[in-house]
Amino acid sequence: MTEEAAGVSVRDVWKGYAGVPVLKGVSLSLERGQIHALLGGNGAGKSTLMRVIAGLAHADRGAVFIRGQELRPASAKKAHMLGLYLVPQEAHVFASLTVYENIVIGVPGSKAALSAKLEGFMREMGVCLDLEEIAGSLEIADRQIVEILRGLIRDASYLILDEPTSALTPRETGALFATMRRLVAGGMGIIFISHKLREVREICDVITVLRDGVIVHSGMLSEISDDGIVAAMIDAVADKARHEVSHAADEVVLELDRLGGEGFHGVSLALRRGEILGIAGVVGAGRTELAETIVGLRPIASGTCRLDGRQIAQPSPKTCADLGLVYLPEDRQSNGLFLEAPISWNVSAAIMHRLPTFFAGAAETKRAETFIRELGIKCRGAEQQVLRLSGGNQQKVLMARCLAAKPQVLILDEPTRGVDVAARADIYNIIFALAAAGTAIIVISSDFDEIEELCDRVAVMAHGHLSGVLEGADVSVKAIAQLAFSAEVSL
Amino acid sequence: MIRFFSKNRTASLLVISAVSFALIGAFAPGFLSFATVRTILINGMIMMTVSLGVMGVLLTRNIDVSVGSTLGLSAAVLGLLLQAEVALPLAMAGALATGLLAGLLNGVLVAVIGVPAIIATLGTLGLYRGLLLILTGGVWIENLPQSLKALASPRFAGFPILIFVVAAIVLLAHLFLSHTRKGRFVYAVGDNRDAARHIGLPVRHIELSVFVFAGLMSAVGGIIFAAQIGFLPGQAGSGIELRVIAACVLGGISLLGGSGTVAGLVVAVFFLTSIDSALIYLRIPGYWNDLIAGAMLLLVLVVDGRLRLLIDKSVRAKRYANHASTDKGQSLIKATPGLTTSGGNQ
Amino acid sequence: MRPSLRFLLRWESFLVLLLIAEILIFGAINPRFLRPSSLLYSTSDFVQIGIVALPLTLVIIAGGIDVSFASVVGLCAIVFGVSVHFGLNVPVAMLLAVLAGGLCGLFNAAVILTSRIQPLVVTLGSLYLFSGLAVVLSGSIGAGGYEGIGGFPQFFTDIANMHLLGLPMPLAILLIEAILLGCILQFTRFGRMVYLVGLSEKAALFNGMPLDRVRMWTYVLLGVFAAIAGLILTSYFGSARTDLGTQTLLSAVTAVALGGASVYGGKGTIFGTLIATLLVGYLQQGLQMSGVSSQISGALSGALLLIAVSGRQLAGGVSVLSFLRPTALHASK
Ligand SMILES: Nc1ncnc2c1ncn2[C@@H]1O[C@H](COP(=O)(O)OP(=O)(O)OP(=O)(O)O)[C@@H](O)[C@H]1O
Ligand SMILES: [Mg+2]
């Protein structure tokens, strides 16, 4: 079996949950010195396949070989010993251990040596994390970075990165790519999962496309066009509604006047009915803090916030819900979703206060089913636990929750994190339709392309301040990036 | 200073204990003395050992309510062996083995078979207590030999030998939990089981071992009980589970797993025991005991809780303060023109 | 029942099977046990467990815990006794006792929610506080610990022996309570929020749910029903004692846990707790009627519980109960 000895190889793997097959005979091989892109729509089975490779899930049939050794029975420990590490889609953080402990836990070696190595990686990636901080207080992007560092420090020969860039801004992504290139040059083999074709083009050599648990394409990346990849992945992408005209009315619904709070200061903004306002910036610029302050999850330190002309001294989530302001949080797993509850409960979660005291489950199920159809949520029915959905489908449930509330003002924090190309187009169309119907929308995103495509007006934040506002034809990825990064250089 | 308190759950409890001590001392002269402290330490020995065992279980996000019964059962085994004239060391080994087996059964039920810990240990709570009653026939074991009681009688500066054993165990547990890799694994399992599995920690082994340790510690508690009291009623140790879990939680060990320190536990045990001792010094009629003990505990909890909320708040404020200071007072964006009319309509 | 609960129902149907098996086995050992009258009337000895276990299920589903109910039972009985002693008429005294129960719950909620300390410790404190209060109160009118406060009018002591719909009063009260709480939990907004708050405090907060109010009401409900249990026991025994509820503590927690509620919140049903209460209660009664000595019956019931649960676990091959262990949910075995 010399071919297997070379790297990781998966042979005819089948895997199902509760009798429903997720992987249907997948074969794949990864060689050292190669970056292998794995693409596929939401729920195609990418994460499941990776969990099987990393020994975290048992395959029903088929085999996984790492360096010629069969991984049987499935064991994460054995996979580690054979030099394979999986950086999972949702960062697994030990909330009460320090960042340092989180990263090095389970790695043998002296503290001094580990620290030195860790600092090397952190410098290379250009990240600054307080290693003594308790990891529970980390923002989602930092959690992702902790997971990536965890993978790097383990000296793996094979690294699997399951959507590592979904929470990162272009700069961190760039640094990650540089690190990946160096590691691959040193003989590492990497599987890289992403929904962003541009990233895949930038870094990968080989591509495999998974669709409904079956491999539908594999080969060199240079031999297939973007359209070819998308066509292999999904049936059809909805035509992008052109969003050339802004629907912004004159009426202001949300007005911030020199608002200050935790992590930002002196932010003045006015949001009009029907307008799509983007808030761009790098990780840590204070965007999420701003949004959470507006919806009453953090205290206001200075300035004022007016909703619908009414001044709100200290908003609370409850008053916001009453006033029709809905927030889609960035961290879907811990803040957004009730993971162990069925989809239907989650879809109704934001409108609890509007439901009658006694309610029948039927209406709720119907509501959920409508959204499942509209958003193409891949599931086994409205009663399936959200926990058992793929990452992208969880994001869609979160979106459905916001839409069900028929908001007047909608704040979307990274609305398309982990969402596939087709669903992304769907979500964009929904956002446009909402705006056309008069909803005022704020989109917070680290993906500058997304901001450019979606927004009528873009406010760029850096270091807790607004560093500029772009409007109309001025909105471009380049201009956004300039504003987002320039402020940093000057500080 | 604030940062220190926020990082040390223990410190705030310590301060509160000291303050309440001083207050009690003001009302009950003679309370503030070395002798009192010694009494409290000696009285707290059983709770200390048993809660140390439970702490390990709680850290892994499990729970053990069978410790009281395990304590009673191993003490009974000790007593019966001694009555049968087995040598003291051997009898003690027997008691320890009993605790170990009891813990092992709990561990197997939870970690291997997968019964939720609360159900498993509620079951063994009844089982072990029943076994004790069957073993002893429901009769108290009396006339324990002097050699056993000697372990609990004053020896060095009024401290019995056993307290040094307990101190050593506490110290070792502290070193293990906070300074060894394996110790941190215990925290990791309770903090995030998925993540622990993910990075390849032996989750089941760890769970099994904490239950065995809890059983062992309960047996040590049983030996102390027998030595201190000198006889063994059938109800030995019953009801201690709740107090022990409370001590753990008060000491900052989360029932949700993954956080807490031995130092915090020590302070909490000391504090809870001192409430009992204070009641004696305050010369309150017996039937007021529960009321006052409950009120004191609640008062301290509320003060401690509020204090920590304040601390958290100021830590947060500090953390974000840098942003305010770098503010240059200018907002780069002026409110969009034509919007000054807002606020007119309701 | 809605499909989302099907998974839980599997566990509950197991409990039902277990209950039937238990009754049949005891019936085989002692045919007297199977007589409808003995099946019905033996419930009076353990109904109080269920009366507190059902609202305790709500508290636990909402992510809290309360151990003080064991004292509230006695305290409210004493409040009733003292009021009657001072000449209040019985219905008013009963109302007063229920009010006292509600206040106890409110007190717990207030302390827990203002101090943000884990409810287990807080309610342990109030467990002492309330029982101390009961002792002091009953001492104030010179009633001793064992005999308690007696001398209630006949019609009050008859309540526990009356019938409703052909059922003994205590059992009828339990069933009515179960239906009431079951409906609240399954069909009202409040019930839904109880689950959601327990499933994820953070997500509930982000969705603008009134976390504290939901939690508060669960504690108040428990207080009220603990008071009712105290009254029933007082009526049944003919005297109000401070320690009436002491025995219910462990049994009620067992019933809730065995009924499928997770101590980490978000899971559990009223039906499960009800069946588990009957299971635990009949086990005690059955062992007693089969002539097992009280010493052995403790060990036996513990062992039987373990054998049943782990047997089911092993028979399922996989961790069937894994849904009770929140952290094991991802286990992709
Ligand atoms: N534990 C589970 N129980 C039941 N079904 C599951 C479980 N985990 C995953 N699935 C199902 O398996 C399918 C594939 O999921 P997977 O997470 O592998 O998708 P994915 O390709 O990673 O998608 P995404 O791009 O959204 O992350 C989904 O339909 C999901 O519902
Ligand atoms: Mg995935």
State the chains in contact with C (3 or more Cβ–Cβ pairs under 8 Å): A, B
Distance from CA of B192 to the nearest CA of A (A): 6
Alpha carbon of residue C36 to chain centroid = 24
Q: Which residues of chain B from 101 to 130 reach within 8 Å of chain A, CB to CB? A: none
**Mean pLDDT (whole number) for A426-446:** 90
| ipTM of the prediction | 0.86
Question: Does residue A321 sit at the C interface (CB-CB below 8 Å)?
Answer: yes
Tally: H helices and E strands in chain A: 17, 20
Q: Which of B119, A386, B245 is nearest to C262 (CA)?
A: B119
**Amino acid at the residue A374:** E
C138 HSE (CA, 13 A, CB side): 27
Q: Nearest CB to C189: which of A56, A327, A352? A: A352
Distance A53 CA to ligand 1 centre (A): 15
How close is the Cα of A192 to the center of ligand 2, in Å? 12
The chain B residue lying nearest C67, using CA atoms, is B242
B344 touches chain A (CB under 8 A): yes
Q: Is A88 in the pocket of ligand 1 (CB under 6 A)?
A: no
Distance from C-alpha of C246 to C-alpha of C233, rounded to nearest angstrom: 12
pLDDT in tens, B161-173: 999 999 999 999 9
Better-predicted residue by pLDDT, B243 or C147:
B243
Query: Is the Cβ pair B344, A92 closer than 8 Å?
Result: no
Give the gap in angstroms from C-alpha B114 to the nearest C-alpha of chain A.
18
Window from A79-83, B323-327, C11-15, C298-302 with minimum mean pLDDT: B323-327
**Domain covering B35-286: architecture:** Orthogonal Bundle (1.10)
Closest CA to B294 of B225, B243, B240, B345: B243
Measured CA to CA, the distance from residue B132 to residue B145 in angstroms comes to 20
Q: Which residue has the CA at smallest separation from atom 3 of ligand 1?
A: A388
Best mutation target among B6, B314, B332, B340 (most A Cβ atoms within 10 Å) is B332
What is the distance between the terminal CA atoms of chain A, rounded to a whole angstrom? 58
**Which residues 308-337 of chain B have a CB within 8 Å of chain C?**
308-309
- Per-residue pLDDT for B1 more than 90? no
Residue B9 pLDDT exceeds 80: no
Q: Is A39 in the pocket of ligand 1 (CB under 6 A)?
A: no
Instruction: Evaluate: CB of A194 within 6 angstroms of ligand 1.
Output: no
State the Cα–Cα distance between residues A290 and A287, nearest whole angstrom: 5
Single out the residue of A418, A424, A444, A446 nearest to residue A89, CA to CA: A418
Q: Does C111 touch chain B (CB under 8 A)?
A: yes
Over range A264-273, report the average pLDDT: 90
Q: What was the pLDDT predicted at C328? A: 31
Interval B122-133 mean pLDDT: 92
Q: Which residues of C226-264 are buried (b: 16+ CB within 10 A; e: fewer)?
A: bbbbbbbbbbbeebbbbbbbbebbbbbbbbbbbbbbbbb
- Closest CB to B115: pick one of C295, C298, C310: C310
Tens of pLDDT, residue by residue over A132-181, are: 888 888 888 888 889 889 988 888 889 999 999 888 878 888 888 998 99
Residues of C within 8 A of A344 (CB-CB) are: 4
Q: Which residue of C has its CA nearest to B193?
A: C327
For chain B, which residues make up each domain, given as ranges?
A: 35-286
Convert the pLDDT of each residue in B15-39 to its tens digit: 877 887 788 788 777 777 888 888 8
Q: Is the shortest distance between the CB of A166 and ligand 1 below 6 Å?
A: no
Interface touch B114/C321, C-beta < 8 Å: yes
Give, in order, the Cα–Cα distances in Å from B303 to each of A161, B16, B101, B273, B275: 47, 8, 41, 19, 16
Contact A147, A172 (CB under 8 A): no
- Chain A residues with CB under 8 Å of B344 CB are 309
Would you call B288 an interface residue with chain C, using a CB distance cutoff of 8 Å?
A: yes
Instruction: Give the closest ligand to the alpha carbon of residue A422.
Output: 1
CB pair distance less than 8 Å for C295 and B131: no
Whether A89 lines ligand 1, by a CB cut-off of 6 Å, is yes
End-to-end CA distance of chain B: 47
How far is the C-alpha of B181 from the C-alpha of B83, rounded, in Å? 43
**Structure token digits, residue A413:** 């924090």
> CA-to-CA distance for A239 and C317, rounded, in angstroms?
49
Residue C272 pLDDT grade (very low, low, confident, very high; cuts 50, 70, 90): very high
Is residue A347 over pLDDT 90?
A: yes
Report whether CATH 3.40.50.300 matches the domain A8-233: yes
Strand, helix or coil at A359? coil
For residue A80, give the nearest of A149, A150, A131 by alpha carbon. Answer: A150
pLDDT at C92 over 60: yes
A23, A24, A42, A48: residue to mutate for ligand 1 pocket, most atoms within 8 A of CB = A48
* Selected residue of A318, A347, A390, A402 to mutate for chain C interface (largest C Cβ count, 10 A): A318
Q: How far is CA A69 from the centre of its chain?
A: 34
Please check the confidence at residue B316 and state whether its pLDDT lies above 80: no
Q: What span, in angstroms and rounded, lies between the C-alpha atoms of B165 and C289?
A: 47
What tens digit of pLDDT does each residue of C150-201 get? 888 888 888 888 888 888 999 999 999 999 999 999 999 999 999 999 999 9
Most confident of B236-240, C5-9, C327-331: B236-240
A24 lies within 8 A of chain B by CB: no
For residues A385 and A339, is the Cβ–Cβ distance under 8 A? Answer: yes
Range A8-12 contact pairs with CB under 8 angstroms and sequence separation of 24 or more:
A8/A53, A8/A64, A8/A65, A8/A66, A8/A67, A8/A84, A8/A158, A8/A189, A9/A64, A9/A65, A10/A49, A10/A52, A10/A53, A10/A62, A10/A63, A10/A64, A10/A65, A11/A62, A11/A63, A11/A64, A11/A65, A12/A61, A12/A62, A12/A63
Q: Chain C within 8 Å of A94 (Cβ-Cβ)?
A: no
Identify the CA nearest to C71 among candidates C194, C238, C218, C247.
Answer: C247
Q: Check CB contact under 8 Å for C327 and B192.
A: yes
How far apart CA B221 and CA B65 sit, in angstroms, is 15
Q: What's the pLDDT score for residue B331?
A: 35
Q: How confident is residue C291, by pLDDT bands cut at 50, 70 and 90?
A: confident
Residue with CA closest to ligand 1 atom 25:
A42
Ligand 1 centroid, distance to A23 Cα (angstroms): 10
* Alpha carbons C3 and A381: distance in angstroms, whole number: 10
Query: Helix, strand, or coil here: A471?
Result: strand
Q: Helix or strand or coil: residue B282?
A: coil
pLDDT value of residue C69: 95
A137 and C CB contact within 8 Å: no
CB A217 within 8 A of CB A224: yes
User: What ligand has the least distance to the C-alpha of A388?
Assistant: 1
* Topology given in CATH for the domain delimited by A252-487: Rossmann fold (3.40.50)
Does A418 sit in the ligand 1 pocket, CB within 6 Å?
A: yes
Residues in chain A: 491
Q: Smallest Cβ distance to B333: which of A92, A301, A469?
A: A469
Cβ contact C116–B302 (<8 Å)? no
Q: How near does any CA of chain A get to the CA of B199, in Å? A: 7
Surrounding residues of ion ligand 2, Cβ less than 5 A: A 47, 89, 390-391
Q: Which residues of B fall within a CB distance of 8 Å from A261?
A: 320
Report the distance separating Cα B122 and Cα A371, nearest Å: 44
pLDDT tens digits for range A176-235: 899 899 889 988 999 999 998 889 999 999 999 999 899 999 999 888 888 888 888 877
Q: Which of A267-281, B282-296, C100-114 has the lowest mean pLDDT?
A: B282-296
Distance in angstroms (rounded) separating the CA atoms of residues A409 and B300 = 44
Instruction: Name, in order, each residue with C-beta under 8 angstroms of A53's C-beta and a sequence gap of 6 or more.
Output: A8, A10, A64, A71, A79, A84, A86, A160, A191
- As a whole number, the mean pLDDT across chain A is 87
Q: Is B268 within 8 Å of C77 (Cβ atoms)?
A: no
Partnered with residue A29 across adjacent β-strands are: A9
Euclidean distance between CA atoms B278 and B292, whole angstroms: 10
Neighbours of A310 (CB within 10 A): 12
Share of chain C above pLDDT 90, in %: 45
Of C135, C298, C314, the CB nearest to B113: C314
Q: Please, which chains are in contact with A (at least 3 CB pairs closer than 8 A)?
A: B, C
Helical axes C189-199 vs C211-237, angle rounded to 10°: 110
Show residues of chain B in contact with A459, CB under 8 Å: 333
What is chain C's percent helix, strand, coil content, to nearest 5?
Answer: 75, 0, 20
Among A121-130, C3-12, C33-42, C115-124, the range scoring the smallest mean pLDDT is: C3-12
What is the spatial distance between Cα A163 and Cα A87, in angstroms, rounded to a whole number? Answer: 9
Torsion (CA) A46, A50, A51, A53 in degrees, nearest 10:
140
Tens digit of each residue's pLDDT (9 = 90 or more) over B38-54: 888 999 999 999 999 99
Q: For CA atoms C33, C39, C43, C45, give the dihedral sign.
A: negative
Indicate the angle between helix axes A421-436 and A361-375, nearest 10 degrees: 110
Query: Environment class of residue B334 by beta-carbon count within 10 Å: exposed (0-12), middle (13-18) or buried (19+)?
Result: exposed
Do the Cβ atoms of B123 and C306 come within 8 Å?
Answer: yes
Nearest to B122 by CA among C288, C296, C282, C257: C257
Categorise residue A303: left if φ over 0, alpha if ψ from -120 to 50, beta otherwise.
left
The three-state (H, E, C) secondary structure of B166-220, written as one string: HHHHHHHHHHHHHHCHHHHHHHHHHHCHHHHHHCCCCHHHHHHHHHHHHHHHHHH
> How buried is residue A471: exposed, middle or buried, by Cβ count under 10 Å (0-12/13-18/19+)?
middle
Written as one letter, the residue type at C152 is F
**Partner residue opposite B198 with nearest CB, options A56, A261, A467:** A56
CB C332 near ligand 1, within 6 Å: yes
Q: Where are the domains of chain A?
A: 8-233, 252-487
Q: 199-218 in B: which are within 8 Å (CB) of A? A: 199-202
Query: Using CB atoms and an 8 Å cut-off, which of residues 236-255 of chain C contact chain B?
Result: 250, 253-254
Q: Please name which of A252, A243, A207 lies closest in space to residue A228, comparing C-alpha atoms.
A: A207
Equal CATH topology for A8-233 and A252-487? yes
Q: Is A443 helix (H, G, I), strand (E, B) or coil?
A: strand
**Domain architecture of chain C: domains with CATH:** 9-322 (1.10.3470)
Q: Do B119 and C319 touch (CB under 8 A)?
A: no
Instruction: Report residue C285 as tokens.
Output: 């009664």
How many CB atoms within 10 Å of residue B238? 16
Chain A interface mutation, best of B333, B334, B345, highest count of A Cβ atoms under 10 Å: B333
Q: How far apart are CA C67 and CA C252, in angstroms?
A: 10
The whole-angstrom separation of Cα C176 and Cα C17 is 23
The better pLDDT of the pair A378, B327 is held by A378
